[in-house]
Amino acid sequence: MTTSTSGRLAGKVAYITGAARGQGRAHAVRLAAEGADVIAIDNCATAATTSYAGPTEEDLAETARLVEAQGRRVLARTVDVRDLDGQVAVVADGVAELGRLDVVVANAGICSGALSWEIPVEKWQETIDVNLTGTFYTAKATVPVLLEQGTGGSIIIISSVAGLRGLPFLADYAASKHGVTGLARTMANELGQHNIRVNTVHPHGVATGMQPAEMFELSQRFATTLGPILMQALPDPISQPEDIANAVAWLASDEARHVTGIQLPVDLGTLAR
């Protein structure tokens, strides 16, 4: 699934959140294969309101090993995206060690399922805090560095089909992913004059550790009424993390130098339905 690489990011440095496993790891490895050094963060913890186990420090260490196996340098650190000071500090340390910053991949996120009016308040709050406020903090920690450098950059925010469509059972997640889509649109307008591009990527289902068990039960329960909204057009039932990383690598590269403010679906044709 990973396409051949051509050193499209040689000499560049990428900052990736939620990098310990899944999509974040795939982004780190793919951008490293394209020649980028990597600053990788993850909170390496299980969220309080999700039904699946979170990543571990061992997972983050494995991501670092895989980046180094591509012949690239990496700074990997346990930082929660909800910790603005922590993000600012690791970005500063990464730039000091690796020399610069060019690409930002705001990937960290959590997900769980419930009917909208049954979402516990604490679950709503944690989802918004991680997915939306965490992405905002990622921007606050990185944009000033890109502006000071004065050499442009590419910011890629991982949204979701739920950032463009009202997917059932995911009201808090959809609200957060619609939120980051709006954030990216505004940032694309504001930062374009500085040659900093801002785009969102919109996957559907991806084979990662983020698999809420309650989503299966709800999908079965409402299979005839709400289930069709979740159907894809292509035959593959789910995307692999590398499928999303391919799109990220393109948006990060100069091949996409005139692309900003877009919402790029990598969604098995779900939005075509």
Count of CB atoms within 10 A of residue 11's CB? Answer: 11
CA atoms lying within 13 Å on the CB side of residue 123: 18
Residue 173 appears among annotated catalytic residues: yes
Q: Active-site residue among 15, 52, 137, 173?
A: 173
Q: Name which of 269, 271, 261 is nearest 163 in CA terms.
A: 271
Question: What is d(CA 252, CA 31) in angstroms, rounded to the nearest whole number?
Answer: 8
Question: What is d(CA 161, CA 200) in angstroms, rounded to the nearest whole number?
Answer: 11
List of residues 6+ apart from 76 with CB closer than 8 A = 19, 40, 41, 60, 61, 63, 64
Q: Name which of 178, 161, 202, 208 is nearest 50 in CA terms.
A: 208
Question: What is d(CA 120, CA 190) in angstroms, rounded to the nearest whole number?
Answer: 36
- What positions carry a catalytic annotation? 173
